[in-house]
């Protein structure tokens, strides 16, 4: 029996297997509103057979967008547009659907990657970015504004409001983005956070905002509704955020009834030196799981079925997440199930695609 294809539960959400499709920005929204691209993109990934599909980083405020084309969930118009996509996906797929709520902080107001990805200054049509301290991500970027306490309070309310909208339109899970150098990660890391108040300095102070956002979201949604957090296990820069601090954050998250932690790395500093290789971030998930017992998702260059099965079977993580690998091969879970002798959820319209050498691949109940 494949452990990768065994059932798993997060909060009140039952998953058919332990494969997660990680959030991947599409830079294809219209003033924060989901478009027909999202319907096509999420629709075909929803037929993948994965247990959980998490929608891309979705800004809780307009200024929290990475780019002007980022998805958002901050008002009735963005809610209605995304609700239509969710309804279509759920009509044709049983997949559990999550959403990653985010604020880009000082990494906001940039071009889409295919336009170079650089910072757009307010003078060139961008907007004033926010951060824990007035330190830009890159030397050529516009200087962010250090957030006031009033802006921090408003941010927590924005996350809570977006969480309510997400549950209302049918999402099954919320992931809070505190990784990849975006706003909550900026508060966590001493490289970006040089505040002198209760949100800066000590580890306890730097963790405060992330924990308060988790509490605000938890209070905004129904009891048992799963809430998780994406973190960077390390900045990969000396003197920055690291795995020891990540373990302490995970312990604090567990005490707040956080349902899982999704562990990647990097994104905060242009000085990072990342030793990229197969499963290069799994060790972070392994240590957090071992030291805290928090449900853990491993991600990062996990590309084949046997590798994923080994990670879960060894207890290094409870679930594995796929990002670019599933864009390249949207039927990755089908192929993994065939290799591992497991069954997969697939649409009945595709049942006859089963190859001659693969029998009984699909659940047909």
Catalytic residue positions? 182
How close are the terminal C-alpha atoms of the chain, in Å? 19
Run of H or E including 157: helix 149-168
What is the Cα Rg of the chain in Å?
20
Rounded to 5 degrees, φ, ψ at 250 are: -60, -40
Give the β-pairing of 96-102 and 173-178. parallel
Task: Give the residue carrying structure tokens 């991500």.
Answer: 137
3-state secondary structure 211-233: HHHHHHHHHHCCCCCCEEEEEEC
Give the β-pairing of 8-10 and 13-15. antiparallel
Cα–Cα distance, 234 to 274 (Å, whole number): 10
Task: Give the residue carrying structure tokens 């006031």.
Answer: 148
For 191, residues 6+ apart whose C-beta sits below 8 A from its C-beta are: 235, 237, 239, 240, 241, 268, 269
Cα–Cα distance, 150 to 152 (Å, whole number): 5
Q: Which two tokens stand for residue 117?
A: 């990805």
Q: Assess contact for 131 and 144: CB atoms under 8 A.
A: yes
User: Hey, what's the torsion of the CAs at 323, 324, 326, 329, to 10 degrees?
Assistant: -170
Calculate the alpha carbon distances from 209 to 212, 258, 304, 350 in Å.
5, 15, 37, 46
């Amino acid at each position: 029996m494949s452990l990768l294809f065994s059932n798993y539960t997060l909060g009140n959400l039952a998953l058919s297997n332990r494969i997660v499709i990680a959030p991947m920005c599409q830079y294809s929204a219209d003033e924060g509103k989901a478009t027909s691209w999202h319907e096509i993109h999420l629709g075909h990934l929803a037929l993948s057979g994965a247990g959980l599909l998490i929608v891309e980083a979705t800004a809780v405020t307009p200024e929290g967008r990475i780019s002007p084309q980022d998805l958002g969930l901050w008002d009735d118009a963005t809610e209605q547009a995304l609700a239509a996509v969710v309804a279509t996906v759920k009509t044709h797929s049983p997949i559990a659907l999550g959403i990653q709520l985010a604020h880009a902080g000082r990494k906001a107001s940039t071009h889409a990657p295919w336009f170079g990805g650089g910072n757009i200054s307010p003078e060139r049509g961008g907007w004033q970015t926010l951060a824990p301290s007035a330190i830009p991500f890159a030397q050529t970027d516009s200087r962010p504004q250090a957030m006031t306490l009033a802006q921090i309070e408003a941010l927590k309310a924005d996350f809570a409001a977006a969480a309510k909208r997400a549950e209302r339109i049918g999402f099954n899970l919320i992931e809070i983005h505190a990784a990849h150098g975006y706003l909550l990660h900026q508060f966590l890391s001493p490289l970006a956070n040089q505040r002198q108040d209760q949100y800066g300095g000590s580890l306890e102070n730097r963790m405060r905002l992330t924990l308060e956002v988790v509490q605000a979201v938890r209070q905004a949604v129904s009891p048992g509704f799963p809430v998780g957090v994406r973190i960077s296990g390390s900045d990969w820069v000396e003197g920055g955020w690291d795995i020891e601090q990540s373990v302490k954050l995970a312990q604090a998250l567990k005490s707040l009834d956080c349902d899982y932690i999704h562990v990647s790395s990097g994104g905060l500093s242009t000085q990072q030196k990342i030793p990229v290789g197969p499963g290069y971030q799994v060790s972070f998930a392994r240590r957090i799981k071992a030291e805290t017992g928090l449900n853990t998702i491993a991600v990062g260059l996990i590309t084949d079925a046997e590798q994923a099965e080994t990670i879960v079977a060894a207890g290094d993580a409870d679930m594995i997440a796929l990002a670019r690998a599933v864009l390249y091969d949207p039927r990755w879970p089908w192929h993994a199930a065939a290799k591992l002798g497991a069954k997969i959820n697939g649409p009945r319209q595709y049942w006859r695609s089963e190859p001659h050498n693969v029998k009984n691949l699909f659940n047909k109940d």
